[in-house]
A = this chain, B = another copy of it.
Amino acid sequence: MMNGFHPEDISDEELDRQRDLYGPFTDVLRDLVDAGIRTEVGEAEIHGVQVELEAIVARLRERQIPGAYGVRYTSSRRSRAWGNSVVGVRNAIAPPLRVHWHPDATGEVWADFELGAAYEGPPGLVHGGICSLLLDQLLGESAGCAQRAGMTATLTLTYRAPTPLGPLRGEAWVDRHEDRKTWCRGHLIGPEGVTVEAEGLFIQPRTPRGSDTPAPPD
């Protein structure tokens, strides 16, 4: 089992330097994932590229962390979940969503993004499970924005209409809360309106975690 927790004590300047380095690098990996699905070049070229990529993987693995990325903090407690499957700056699986938090910690969050070939389920449509993946993250960040960050306890998705690949918007907000429980709601919006609605229950840990900061992750 991998342990993803790697505390660090880097400065805000170092964090910015790392984002400038890894952001564009991971964007190329995303581009490569898309090209890998859609390419129709010949068999010899696929074989050739495969050999080159194997060599590149070996070079990148010459020095690497033993497990997953985890959530890390700077000395000023800015957090970064760069391995996260939805928002991770260094994770090519993540679109990544850049989630905006309402500055008054109301719990309102939103993100505009575009999904390509890698997020397909039915032909030309976003995979229903990808919709639930993105909404789980958005609802969780909504609880975080309201300073009530916790783990997902339940999540219910209602699919109103097919979600087309292309430009989309996600929104979430806090519906109500009671003790350590926070109920959040949200939806995805396509060019023709709401496609998927979500409601989730998030439960705060008894001992507040470091990630319960009122600022969005970097």
A: residues with CB less than 8 A from B are 1-5, 21-22, 24-26, 28-29, 31-33, 35-41, 43, 45-47, 49-50, 52-54, 56-57, 59-65, 67-71, 82-86, 88, 90-93, 116-125, 127-130, 132-137, 140, 151-159, 162, 164-166, 191
Contact = CB atoms under 8 A, between A and B. Distances in A.
Nearest to A40: B63
Given A3-B124, A40-B65, A70-B124, 10 more contacts: A4-B124, A32-B92, A35-B57, A36-B90, A37-B68, A38-B69, A68-B120, A93-B93, A151-B159, A152-B159
A85 B37 contact: no
Given A39-B63, A50-B24, A64-B35, A69 B157 contact: no
Contacts of A49: 25, 56, 59-60
B191 A1 contact: yes
Contacts of A64: 35, 38-41
Nearest to A24: B50
A33 B33 contact: yes
Nearest to A43: B21
A156 B155 contact: yes
B162 A151 contact: yes
Contacts of A46: 21-22, 25
Contacts of A56: 32, 49, 52-53
A26 B57 CA distance: 13
Contacts of A158: 153-154
Which of A90, A132, A191 has the largest number of chain B CB atoms within 10 A? A132
